[in-house]
Amino acid sequence: MLNRRALLLSAVAVSACQTDKGIGHTTASSKVRSEPRPMPVLFLGHGSPLNAIEDNAWSRAFKRLGRELPTPRAILCISAHWYGEGTRVTATDPPPTIHDFSGFPESLERMTYPARGNVELAERVTKLLPSARLASDWGLDHGAWSVLCHLRPAADCPVIQLSIDASLSGAKHLALGRALAPLRSEGVLLVGSGNLVHNLKDAFGRVRRGDRETPDWARSFDADAEQALVQHDGAWLARAHQEARGRTAHPSPDHYLPLLYAAGAADASDQVTFPITGFEAGSLSMRAVRYDASS
């Protein structure tokens, strides 16, 4: 649960990014294809929950990305905010909107994302991931709906969520993502949602001091991850969060691990682009990663 200190961080961070400075985006549209191709795979830096309701650089970038994506049959989201014991997949239809935070404006607390669920797809996931179990006690947390409300504002395709098992190694998370890859050819958009650099203690301190500079450790981790992603270097990605600089970038790995599901589901021949780049509150990387099947 996000606490009230997060409100200070979020309000300042969002106001600090009201322009598009530092926000990169792709220009090629992939809405229409002459032949069926696997769906893209995404990893999104979701940042503050306020990005769901604010008009800022990040929310505009999410909207732009949504317009460039092909229409999926369904969405499978792996969110940093469903992190705990075991691998579970939502089997509720419709999935409830979970407000897993506090201290934010009432308009955010009341927000819902009325997507349908898809029990059949959830069951398909359990076939691909034999360790996964169906869950009826979860829905869509803010790691999912705060970005999907911009990517698919009409909530016009089913959405399910997959949890992150805290006991697994990076290599095992990568393997789970690889096992999900067949869903791409079945019209399913796989979306990992976290942040490539996520050290809230550092970010809170910078907000209190009025320091918007990005520290070297955050910038270098983000840059090295970019290189590893372009090179499809799964071995580096699987261990990076456990090394010294990675532990600074991620005191808890929850916001990093969704990236491994996206990287695992990608093919080595996929084109890798970064539709969103930049930092929120100094040290929170908002980098988005997009994998597209090569033509």
pLDDT at 56 over 90: yes
Task: Summarize the confidence of residues 192-201 as an average pLDDT.
Answer: 97
Across 210-229, average pLDDT:
96
Query: Distance between CA 64 and CA 266 in Å, rounded?
Result: 22
Q: Which domain holds residue 56?
A: 5-13+38-190+214-292
How much is the mean pLDDT over the chain? 90
Residue 201 lies in a domain: no
- Residue 44 dihedral angles phi and psi, to the nearest 5°: -120, 135
Residue 9 has pLDDT above 60, yes or no: no
The pLDDT of residue 28: 42
- The CATH number covering residue 256 comes to 3.40.830.10
pLDDT band for position 35 (cuts 50, 70, 90): low
Residue of 293 and 33 predicted with greater confidence: 293
Residue-wise pLDDT tens digits, 250-292: 999 999 999 999 999 999 999 999 999 999 999 999 999 999 9
In a domain, 80, yes or no: yes
- The reply to whether 113 falls in a domain is yes
**What is the per-residue pLDDT for 103?**
87
The answer to whether residue 21 scores a pLDDT higher than 90 is: no
Mean pLDDT along residues 22-49: 70
Q: Residue 295 has what pLDDT? A: 73
Q: How confident is the model at residue 102 (pLDDT cuts 50, 70, 90)?
A: confident
Q: Report the pLDDT value the prediction gives residue 117, as an integer from 0 to 100.
A: 98
Residue 2 confidence class, pLDDT cut points 50, 70, 90: low
Mean pLDDT of 187-212: 95
Rounded average pLDDT over 60-65 = 98
- State the average pLDDT over residues 146-166: 98
* Radius of gyration, CA atoms only, the chain: 17
Say yes or no to pLDDT of 34 above 70: no
Q: Is residue 209 domain-resident?
A: no
Q: Which residue has the tokens 């809405």?
A: 31
- Note whether residue 235 is domain-resident: yes
**Number of folded domains in the chain?**
1
| Residue 23 located in a structural domain | no
Evaluate whether residue 207 is within a structural domain.
no
What's the mean pLDDT in 67-83?
A: 98
- Of all residues in the chain, what percent carry a pLDDT higher than 90? 85
30 occurs within a structural domain: no
- SS3 for the chain is CECCHHHHHHHHHHHCCCCCCCCCCCCCCCCCCCCCCCCCEEEEECCCHHHHCCCCHHHHHHHHHHHHCCCCCEEEEEEEEEEECCCEEECCCCCCECCCECCCCHHHHCCCCCCCCCHHHHHHHHHHCCCCEEECCCCECHHHHHHHHHHCCCCCCCEEEEEEECCCCHHHHHHHHHHCHHHHHHCEEEEEEECCCCCHHHHHHHHHHCCCCCCHHHHHHHHHHHHHHHCCCHHHHHHHCCCHHHHHHCCCHHHCHHHHHHHHHCCCCCEEEEEECCEECCCEECCEEEEECCC
